[in-house]
Structure 1
Amino acid sequence: MLLSTPGKLARIAVLGACTLLVQAPCSAQDTKADDVVSTPEEIFDEIWGEFHDRYAFFELRGVDWDKQRETYKARVNSKTTDDELFSILSEMLAPLGDAHVNLIMKGEKRRAFCAEKTARFEREFSTDDLLKQFWSLVDGTLEARGFGESVKVAKVFHYRRNSDYGYLRITDLEGPKKKALDKGLDQILDALQDTQGLIIDIRANPGGTDDFVYRIMRRFADKKRVGHYKKTKKGPGDDEFGKLRTRHFEPGGDVRYAGKIVLLQNDASYSAADMFAMLMGDLPNVVSIGEHTNGVFSDMLVRKLPNGWKYTLSHQRYYSAAKVCYEGKGIPADHKVLNVRADLETGVDPVIPKALTLLTEEELSPR
């Protein structure tokens, strides 16, 4: 499918700049002069071959890659136009259903394709106007429960509070530099320090970087913990992966928060938001509401084709501290509450009242 939702367009716009992207070393064909364009058959073979060697999730995604070659290579010949080739490659990649698989045609006929399957939340709130109405609904639900005016900090944080609880929305998990991020978190957590509990909202969050997530996690960590394990696909064999690497997080920063936390998440919580949900879920004072996150953890490996097009693929397997891979499944919510378009008619975001109720439950004891 071609990119259509606001979320997809925002995510693909950062290709070439986002630090989640991993630029691979150039191959012999990558180093050709820009004015040297391979044949359609060679372009097809290069992208198919690179996925064959480096893509980490054919079995998980239920795709027979050899069968895809058999099906789609037959449609490519020396007379295949750029538009036709782009469509054929997009059709071949589509069954992967992976938001980190992208194909970008540059030049006058710029086109962009993402293999992502549209999230349920994005189908419900499928336009910019509907999404704006949704966040207005969230604001109204909070205001009706005594929450004050929202304060924007460090570009990606919006916080507010009532007499008992705090609310923090994180719109992206990248952007501010370390100094600005730390200063913003100090301001937010200082303002919310005396609350009985905190709601953190990462619904419809397009993601960002692991480093950004781990920088935030220092403020909520109770002790040094394993955050995740990761290994990278190195070759065509099913088991050709590099060494399993471990990353930890631990308490840090000038101001930290140790109270009860309810995390709001949905299937439009992507990539670094998946990671944030996974790490927060391991803390004893955190419970989640909503639905599973999207389930796209791998960094995007970026490749450039001889004709100037770019593509990305998922070449890493991430695992939780318990060594569970949530790729393609997402992090499940402890309590399932879905947002649907009909919520706009009721005038209430049903997730907020449930979150406030959970903050009063004994099993969510602060540390």
Structure 2
Amino acid sequence: MKRTFRLSFYVICLLIGAFVVSWLIFMPNGQERGAWRAETGGVVLELTPLKATMFSETAHSCHTVIAFPAHMKLVEMLEGATVGMNGAQLELAIDGTLNTQRFDRLDALPENCTAPDPASASARDVFDAAWTAMDEHYAFFDLHGVDWAARRALAPAPDARMDDAQLEDMLLAMTAGLDDGHVHFGSDTRGYRSPAERPGWIPEGSNLNRDMLRQIAIANAGATITKSQTAPIFYGLREDGIGYIMLREMDVDVPIGGRSMDAMATAFANVLADLDAAKALIIDIRYNPGGSDTVSFGLAGHFIEAPLPVFTKTTRIGTTQTAPFTAILEPQGDAPDPRPVILMTSKLTGSAAEILTLAMREIPQVTTLGEPTSGGLSDVMGFTLPNGWGLGLSNQTYLTMNGDLFEKIGVPPDVPVPFETAPFLDGKDPVLNAAIAEASKYLQ
């Protein structure tokens, strides 16, 4: 018994020692330690030997977004985030985003960068922080016809007291008119998202939510449906030789230490292999709210044989924009899939699913069909408000390689097919029927 206890003690000590040694190896190095501000503003990062802390910053306030142990190898393996030096700048790469974020060194962490304190935060503090974050970083006031400077007049009195419901109403009034699915605020238990999340063709009170619409599509697909083991992909082969693929969201199970693009490339390769007998493919993302851009690229890369520029994006920085970042779609798999693809979209196609649409429409064998997408392409820039609530906003401008802007209006389809509510209430899917008819042209 004593020998067993002694052996267990030694093993535990060895494990602790190994962890301490690994921490010393993988903690931020001397160059990386310190306080950093994103070159586009809005984000402050502090790296110490023991802890990494990210803050959201405006001219009004600076509050913690997330803090985590500074064992950077564990952070890389579990969260897919890495930091490193690029000249005099710190570079942050996060799995799920296509480009890195660069930071400039600060002499010290700003004194107002602290954890939010809901007990002491006034309604005026919350308003000022939210208004300032939008004023400094939101990219599309003109597009939505909103005079943001005039919204400053909605600020409550400095001594005004509000409960959560009143705070929500205040922020609703402040953001009214921004029909942008990436503008949102609130806590884990309450909050608001833009009306762009619910298109006008879905009647209030009806059961035509995303889940019901997905069920209707699957019921009308004319195929026995299989679910991917590692991704929210549902697929089957019709008797006429058309493969049907529905992507519920742009997500995938990522193994520890892996990357989402690679994981989706593998998952989708398995789907394509199972549909090897198909002569044409329908990919249905009509009810896909988004997810990770890298997941979208892991899928789209299966249809190209060489790197392909698919869009550019810039980030608002003060009154101007950063230099354009060109997104390059890289080939995936052993060989490109040559089959024709019908990509179905609707007003419920959002965010990273719109990024998939932008990428796929650059590929000659792809035809898009349905309705324009929701028109919210920017990544979401997040802020922590003084009361602990979160605020999300759009700060990036995506353009096609031809320079077209589809923010707000959505990415238009090659073959427009309008959504009419009545057939869907009866369990029918005429838009899918139109996609099947389009795909059938390639079966001759």
**TM-score, length basis structure 2:** 0.69
Q: CA deviation at 1:38?
A: 3.5
2: CA distance, partners of 1:27 / 1:19: 28
1: CA distance, partners of 2:209 / 2:172: 28
Verify the 8 A CA contact 1:52 1:65 in the aligned structure 2. Answer: yes
Matches within 5 A, 1:313-324: 313-324=393-404
2: CA distance, partners of 1:19 / 1:206: 19
Bigger CA drift: 264-273 or 110-119? 110-119
Structure 2 residue 167 is matched with structure 1 residue 85: yes
2: CA distance, partners of 1:351 / 1:247: 31
Bigger CA drift: 148-157 or 243-252? 148-157
Change (3 A) 1:97 1:30: farther
Verify the 8 A CA contact 2:347 2:372 in the aligned structure 1. Answer: yes
Structure 2 residue 235 is matched with structure 1 residue 159: yes
Q: CA deviation at 1:214?
A: 1.1
- Which residue is 1:7 aligned to? none
2: CA distance, partners of 1:28 / 1:231: 30
Between the two structures, name the one with larger relative contact order (CA 8 Å, sep ≥ 6).
1
Change (3 A) 1:288 1:39: same
> Helix, strand or coil for the counterpart of 1:213?
helix
Verify the 8 A CA contact 1:119 1:294 in the aligned structure 2. Answer: no
The superposition leaves residues 44-63 of structure 1 with CA deviations (integer Å, 9 ceiling, x where unpaired) of 22221121111111111111
- Which residue is 2:60 aligned to? none
Matches within 5 A, 1:1-367: 28-32=111-115, 34=117, 37-70=120-153, 72-73=154-155, 75-83=156-164, 84-105=166-187, 110-120=189-199, 123-124=202-203, 131-143=210-222, 147-163=223-239, 164-177=241-254, 178=260, 180-235=263-318, 237=319, 240-254=320-334, 256-344=336-424, 347-361=427-441
The superposition leaves residues 59-104 of structure 1 with CA deviations (integer Å, 9 ceiling, x where unpaired) of 111110011112x12x444123133233111211131111111111
2: CA distance, partners of 1:51 / 1:29: 19
Superposed CA RMSD: 3.0
2: CA distance, partners of 1:306 / 1:24: 26
Q: Which segments of 5 or more consecutive residues in structure 2 lack a partner in the other structure? A: 1-64, 67-78, 80-93, 104-108, 255-259
Q: Which segments of 5 or more consecutive residues in structure 1 lack a partner in the other structure? A: 1-14
Verify the 8 A CA contact 1:76 1:85 in the aligned structure 2. Answer: no
Give the aligned residue type for 2:159.
S
Verify the 8 A CA contact 1:198 1:260 in the aligned structure 2. Answer: yes
Equivalences, count: 339
Give the aligned residue type for 2:421.
R
Q: CA deviation at 1:253?
A: 1.6
Q: CA deviation at 1:223?
A: 3.1
2: CA distance, partners of 1:289 / 1:64: 35
2: CA distance, partners of 1:268 / 1:170: 13
Change (3 A) 1:23 1:112: farther
Bigger CA drift: 247-256 or 214-223? 247-256
Give the aligned residue type for 1:38.
A
